[in-house]
Amino acid sequence: MDIEQAKDMKFIFVCPSQNQPFESADFKIDENRGVTTDEAGHKTLDATVVLTEPCPFCGRKHVYHASELSCPFGGQE
Ligand SMILES: [Zn+2]
């Protein structure tokens, strides 16, 4: 993956107060503790993802755990 692609990468977030999904590339990864493997052998990234732009639904800057997101970090097959 080159830098341009990484910059344009969007994740799907869900607003926890409106329960509405939205796509955003405005986020940063915080508290990255690396990839962990659970008892079933599923890998997840143990990190916190913080919005850098307000949520389009409620205007707050939500914080998510990487495992909550529909993204390459989720360890989906
Ligand atoms: Zn919201």
Confidence of residue 75 (pLDDT cuts 50, 70, 90): very low
DSSP sequence for 10-32: -EEEE-TTT--EEEES-EEEES-
Dihedral class, residue 69 (left if φ above 0, else alpha if ψ from -120 to 50, else beta): beta
- For residue 40, how far is its CA from the centre of ligand 1 (angstroms)? 32
Residue 43 neighbours by CB under 8 Å, 6+ apart: 35, 36, 37, 75
pTM value is: 0.69
The per-residue pLDDT for 31 is 87
- For residue 17, how far is its CA from the centre of ligand 1 (angstroms)? 6
- For residue 1, how far is its CA from the centre of ligand 1 (angstroms)? 29
d(CA 47, CA 32): 4
- For residue 10, how far is its CA from the centre of ligand 1 (angstroms)? 16
- For residue 34, how far is its CA from the centre of ligand 1 (angstroms)? 26
6-65 pLDDT, tens digit each: 566 788 899 999 999 999 999 998 988 999 898 999 888 889 999 999 999 999 999 999
In the chain, where the domains are located: 3-71
